[in-house]
Structure 1
Amino acid sequence: MIRKGRRLRYLVAAFGALVLTAQLGINSPEAEASTDLKFWHFNMCGNVCWEAGDQHNYLPGTDSRGEIPVRGAQIVESVGNYSPDIVTLNETCYTQYRHIRAALVAQGYHATYASSSQTAGKHCDGGDTAFGMALFSKKPIATPRETHNLGDTKIHALCADTALGARPVKACSVHLSVDDPDDAQDDGKRDGQATKLAALASGWHATKPVVLMGDFNAQPFDPVMDKFYSHSGGEGIFSEADESDADHSASWPPGAARGQSGEITYSSSKTSPPTQKKIDYIFLSAADFGAVEGDSLYGGERRISDHRVYRGGATWQ
């Protein structure tokens, strides 16, 4: 027999799960990629991504710490529904990573994590100061994994040798700095990081395909992104998953079938008007991948991060 108190907890947990499922967009009608290779990325925004009085999707009656296993379970469900080959997370507290890792490893994934900074509770509640990036792959991840500071003391890229099917690849979870025009200390940081990352990627590509996934904190038309795109004025080596989305074609070159563009991956209602932009990317080395496609999942204004789940697909060239 289930006691009344336990039944209530089950109902509360079920309610939280249903709400979070909607906000992650895992029941999107575009649930499947039509391609052979799949990729999944999410900037989680830590576990305190809200302020007092804001709407949020934590379990009713709990503080932010109550969401860690619940949100972790929903991320695992979203990944399970899509079955991506490679998964990356940004702004992930180590407690969140532990829950997600345990579940995905049980499904056959391999995992690695790097703390990008020590936050002393700024982004992670419950005394958890590790805050960083995670990388999951269906294939084994070589050790040691690589961390790249790209110019300062924080880690901006977690990379590892893994594989897509039988082919070795270099995969990275990337999080570049915000280039705040009102903060002189930020001037040029992101551009310098992007330059170093693009150079590293070109070197890796001499021997294997390269996958860069994450929050680049720049919009597609920002000049810094030319370092990655291989077309539309870019000087890089990559295609981007959502570059052929005709709903976002206003900036494409005349007559082009693709451009530096894509669906919104970040939104915030803290500004007027609300801020909406694409700053998350799934970059795939253009010489190796074809038929790229992307899908940004919008879960409404009540959600658990200021970013959206971003999924991509591709085939081998």
Structure 2
Amino acid sequence: MGGTITVTGTRRRLRYLVAAFGVLALTVQVALTAQVALTSPEAQASTDLKFWHFNMCGNKCWEDPQNEHNYLPGTDSRGEVTVRAAQIVESISNYGPDIVTLNEVCYSQYRAIRAALIARGYHATYASSGKGTGGACDNYDDSVGRKFGMALFSKQSATREPYDIGTPEHPNRLLCSDTAIGSRAVKACSVHLGAKDKEERALQASKLAAMASEWHKDKPVVLMGDFNAEPTEDVMGKFYDHSGGTGIFHEADESDPAYSEDWPAGAVRGRSGEITFTTDRTDPPTVKKIDYIFLSAADFKAVEGDSLYGGQRRTSDHRVYRGGATWQ
């Protein structure tokens, strides 16, 4: 794991306690326990380019009644389609990212998010993950279009390009788009590597890294998503362009000094970053970084990132992960 949670890291996350989702502009549902000004300096990236990613965990992470924090007060799992979509739209609107990616999104949720973000000027695309529901959707029915998968939103026009990076035994799909950030064309992808089989995940990562290198011959590349591996694992070396990696990317949160304990002496960055995943289904609870915003190192600089902790009223086992950068 990229480092333990320090006091500094904890304070840093607490500044974003509510910025993760914002205060809902709905007349029902919830009253949050704390409020943070969404226009405060802490809620804004200091860089020109902005990125926003979230593994939503569908509209019901699990049915265990002991995990009540997974449901906002006054809602049930079906209600989360509306509630969680509203939270996500507000968080994105407050931050204003150029590229947005979602993992584990039910198609019913995607339709609500798509309608709201298109009204705000975004372009939308979606693809089934190709690997079932993961138990995360209570309204999954592929025959009538209620799919489970991933989404990508861009401020610029965006193509829909799904790629199969799995195998028949372990299907997995990647959603990419030829789009742009400002006036510069980019290839952007919503990534969700396999969670259970390390060998299969390594195979998927190798395919993805090779594809990214080819795309990069023509344009900058952005990979955002849940890679299901921690920064120092061998599989992640296929993406980092430093610290023993053989890839072509910076990672948004690679220079966070609060997570520098594994960096070489004198280093200003490393394969680390803030926690993006938490589950209390283990004892002690599992906390780790497995979500990433990878930006091709030849094209982006001044990278930064923060994961946003939703407290006990979070609605996913992942945290919203935001990044920033400037052009080289």
- TM-score, normalised relative to structure 2: 0.85
In 2, Cα distance between the equivalents of 1:52 and 1:265?
Answer: 23
In 1, Cα distance between the equivalents of 2:321 and 2:221?
Answer: 18
Q: Are 1:157 and 2:157 counterparts?
A: no
Q: Are 1:16 and 2:32 counterparts?
A: no
State the match for 2:108 in structure 1.
Answer: 95
In 1, Cα distance between the equivalents of 2:83 and 2:118?
Answer: 17
Q: Would you say how many aligned residue pairs link Structure 1 and Structure 2?
A: 299
In 1, Cα distance between the equivalents of 2:238 and 2:275?
Answer: 21
2:150 to 122, 133, 155: 133
In 2, Cα distance between the equivalents of 1:314 and 1:155?
Answer: 29
Change (3 A) 1:248 1:98: same
State the match for 1:312 in structure 2.
Answer: 323
State the match for 2:221 in structure 1.
Answer: 210
In 1, Cα distance between the equivalents of 2:75 and 2:245?
Answer: 47
**Which segments of structure 1 move beyond 6 Å, counting only runs of 4 or more?**
20-23, 25-29
State the match for 1:146 in structure 2.
Answer: 162
CA RMSD of aligned residues (A): 2.4
Task: Give 3-state SS (helix, strand or coil) of 2:191's partner.
Answer: strand
State the match for 1:7 in structure 2.
Answer: none
In 2, Cα distance between the equivalents of 1:313 and 1:286?
Answer: 13
Displacement of 1:156: 3.2
In 2, Cα distance between the equivalents of 1:27 and 1:72?
Answer: 21
Give the alignment of 1:112-123 within 5 angstroms: 112-117=125-130, 119=132, 122-123=135-136
Task: Give 3-state SS (helix, strand or coil) of 2:129's partner.
Answer: strand
Structure scoring higher RCO (CA < 8 A, sep ≥ 6) equals 2
Check conservation: 1:218, 1:225, Cα contact below 8 A.
yes
Deviations 1:147-198 (A, max 9, x none): 23343463331001000100000000000001x4xxxxx2500000000100
In 2, Cα distance between the equivalents of 1:111 and 1:53?
Answer: 36
In 2, Cα distance between the equivalents of 1:89 and 1:21?
Answer: 26
Task: Give 3-state SS (helix, strand or coil) of 1:100's partner.
Answer: helix
- What letter corresponds to residue 256 of structure 2 in structure 1? D
- What letter corresponds to residue 72 of structure 1 in structure 2? A
Task: Give 3-state SS (helix, strand or coil) of 1:188's partner.
Answer: helix
Check conservation: 2:140, 2:147, Cα contact below 8 A.
no
2:293 to 268, 271, 282: 282
Deviations 1:236-261 (A, max 9, x none): 00000000000000111221100000
Q: Are 1:293 and 2:310 counterparts?
A: no
1:36 to 48, 64, 80: 48
Change (3 A) 1:240 1:288: same
Percentage of identical aligned residues: 65
Displacement of 1:59: 5.0
In 1, Cα distance between the equivalents of 2:221 and 2:140?
Answer: 36
Deviations 1:264-307 (A, max 9, x none): 00000110111000000000000000000001001113310000
Gaps of 5+ in 2: 1-23
Give the alignment of 1:179-198 within 5 angstroms: 180=196, 186-198=197-209
State the match for 1:172 in structure 2.
Answer: 189
In 2, Cα distance between the equivalents of 1:22 and 1:91?
Answer: 27
State the match for 1:183 in structure 2.
Answer: none
In 1, Cα distance between the equivalents of 2:94 and 2:58?
Answer: 23
Change (3 A) 1:175 1:312: same
Deviations 1:18-56 (A, max 9, x none): 449979x96886210000000000000011113223223
State the match for 1:271 in structure 2.
Answer: 282
- TM-score, normalised relative to structure 1: 0.88
Larger Rg, first or second structure (1 or 2): 1
Gaps of 5+ in 1: 1-10, 181-185
Check conservation: 2:161, 2:177, Cα contact below 8 A.
yes
In 1, Cα distance between the equivalents of 2:208 and 2:317?
Answer: 25
Check conservation: 1:89, 1:134, Cα contact below 8 A.
yes
Change (3 A) 1:31 1:120: closer
